[in-house]
Amino acid sequence: MDNRTKNLKIGRMANVAENLFLVILVFYPLRHINWGLDLWDTGYNYANFQYMGTEHMDPMWLFSTYLSNVVGNLLMKLPNGGSLMGMNIYTGLTVSLLAVAGYFFCIRKLHISPWIAFVGEFVAISLCWCPTAVLYNYLTYVLFLACMILLYRGLTEGKNICLVLAGACLGANVLVRFSNLPEAAMILAVWAYDGAAWAREKKGGTVRGEGLWRKLGQHTFWCFAGYGSFLLALLGFIHVKYGFGNYVAGIQRLFAMTDTATDYKADSMLRGMIDIYKENMYWVKRIGVILAAGILFFAAVDFLLQRHGKWKNTVWWWWGRILLASTGAVSLVWLFLKGFRISEGAAGRVAFLGTLHPSLLFLAALVLGLVLFAAEGWLLQKRCGTERALWWESRFLWGAVSVAMLIWLYANQFCTVEFLWHGPISYGPMLRPGILFLMLSMLVGAVRFLDPKSSEREKLISAMVVLVVLLTSLGSNNKVYPSMNNLFLAAPYTLWQCWRFCRNVGEKHIGRIALSAFPAKGLLAAFLCMCLFQFVGFGARFAFAEGTGVYDLTATVENNAVLRNIKMDPNKARWLTELSACVEERGLQGREVILYGYVPSLSYYLQMPPAFNSWSDLLSYSYDTMAESLAEEERQIREGTEEKPVVLVNYMQAGLEEDDKWKLIQEFMENNGYVRTWQNNRFALYE
């Protein structure tokens, strides 16, 4: 086969692989479109889309997430947009868009290997724990990614229009979710790029100092021109449709809600992010100790190899090898025992080895490790000589240590493998590995940015990765969970840089001491393999429902068109079947409803518009605001301008009877002659 034929064959295989990658990235995000029934976020957001406007929505949430509600309302008008599965498909395609856009950007502009880009995007999809119905999150990620792509092209290709459009994306994001304001800090990446380019040119003696400020000013102007003009245009549209005063009042309430919802305070949200990183430093420190020990071990191996010529066949050579072998074996056995040990009293026992005392087990394992190590070394010496044997011995041992580290992490509940068996699944499989992956992404980005050998383009993308991890979680009370949901650039970038490190980086010499990169490579490879296993397993099994994952998807609701073909827990199916039958029998579809008991989704599932707010249980909806809304409802009822809304409550909600806002609703019902007309073992209906 000549080279031309071979190249054509390789090209065809690459095209087939890329097409397969794209098919997976488009359809894999839709794997759970009929999984589970969420009574919280999913239906709540769809109800806001369907009943968008000041009549049925809380103005605070209408205006603070305005563009996401507009897009959701448009999706409702598409074919099959009136069903839960149809909307799950349409909103799920935002994840497909993120993955495909990220993939093409990585392979076309960053020149990342297609298989690494694909694995990175697959990981990012798997970590999307948030229901896609929460469009104000996913549209945020879409516009954020678009901004980074446009910034990269605008700066590296000299296209000012791209800078304007990048600014416009971030300006629009303020109306997708008002708390996206901190994303304006992406201008730091622009300044970092300009600074790096200026430093390189100055080093070559081609520019003067004032050139930096001129370039910074130009690029900043174009970015903020797009940001400000697009934001003002959208605010002008809101002013024409709703009145700017109503918008300002809604946003003022957004700031005021921190009086009751303290987790939305800026210091509380920032502290939540910092605390979770600090908490996971427990694992970072211990992995760092293992890494430091590995570096010292390989430095000792290198020292012994340097002395081989002088010490060959002397007592120093054999004592050196025995010392290194003993040290490595002790470390390996200690990690294994630490991983499999359980606490039973003062002495402790090793679970899988019965009742033997740990010291006896340690001695036996040490002897066995040394025997195996010596036997392996003898065989290698016969085949490749003493020096090469020691080189292979050290790497063989460190590979075992890397595996032992994983056993230690799993045994010490660093993460769970709930996805391997049938049953409920939480965030345990991905939480700590995900946080460490975020820390790794920021570390890699910072190192590459500070590396004087990195090009301006690499410094730019590195700065962007650090900023996207930090900024995505700002403005959210979910700690660092949003950042784990938005790794469509950071995941492929991190895997790419780790691949380059493992492939290209060798020894670094400090004087006569050689510091090997192999310990870091071994631990990094082990950690990334664990991450891939945990993230893919989590993504395959997890679908959001009431803050955790779904399970026992063996039932459906047959008498509700919105919920058709949705698989769910039998208990939920029974409750919703009975409730849907009641609504149908009493002709309540289209009637306004007051919901309480953490069941905001019922407004959408039952096609009953909320009287004022479908999720009034939340602390962000204050007692005083509810009192005003109920007073307005009562006034309209007495004037005859509005029919009495139905009251539907989940009376099994914990702490309901002591809830002050529920007492307000009870008082409202007493004043207006409500009676309970239906009840099952979960819900009660009042008319």
Mean pLDDT confidence for 109-136:
96
At 323, the pLDDT band (50, 70, 90 cuts) reads low
Q: For position 249, what pLDDT does the model report?
A: 87
Mean pLDDT value across residues 160-182: 95
Flag the least confident range among 195-209, 237-251, 518-532, 550-564.
Answer: 195-209
HEC secondary structure over 412-449:
CCCCCCHHHCCCCCCCCCCHHHHHHHHHHHHHHHHHHH
> Above 80 in pLDDT, residue 344?
no
Instruction: Give the whole-angstrom CA distance, residue 384 versus residue 379.
Output: 9
Measure the CA–CA gap between 194 and 207, rounded to whole angstroms.
13
**pLDDT computed for residue 252 by the predictor:** 86
What integer is the mean pLDDT of 600-606?
97
- Over range 633-638, report the average pLDDT: 92
Residue-level pLDDT at 93: 97
Q: Residue count of the chain, please give it.
A: 687
Q: Which residue has the tokens 């590396």?
A: 451
Q: Which residue has the higher pLDDT, 104 or 18?
A: 104
Where b means 16+ CB within 10 Å and e means fewer, 126-135 reads bbbbbbbbbb
pLDDT band of residue 543 (cuts 50, 70, 90) is: very high
Instruction: Count CA atoms closer than 13 A to 528's CA, side-chain side.
Output: 20
Q: Taking the model in full, what pTM does it have?
A: 0.92
Residue 378 reports pLDDT greater than 70:
no
Q: What is the pLDDT of residue 213?
A: 86
What are the phi and psi torsion angles at 371 (to 5°)?
A: -60, -45
342 pLDDT band, cuts 50/70/90, is very low
pLDDT of residue 558: 95
The residue among 207 and 117 whose pLDDT is bigger is 117
Least confident piece of the model among 15-29, 109-123, 390-404:
390-404
The pLDDT assigned to 264 comes to 77
Phi, psi for 426 (deg, rounded to 5):
-115, -155
Q: What percent of the chain has pLDDT over 70?
A: 83
Which of these ranges, 193-197, 401-405, 445-449, 635-639, has the smallest mean pLDDT?
401-405
459-480 pLDDT, tens per residue?
999 999 999 999 999 888 889 9
The string of pLDDT tens digits covering residues 551-563 is 899 999 999 999 9
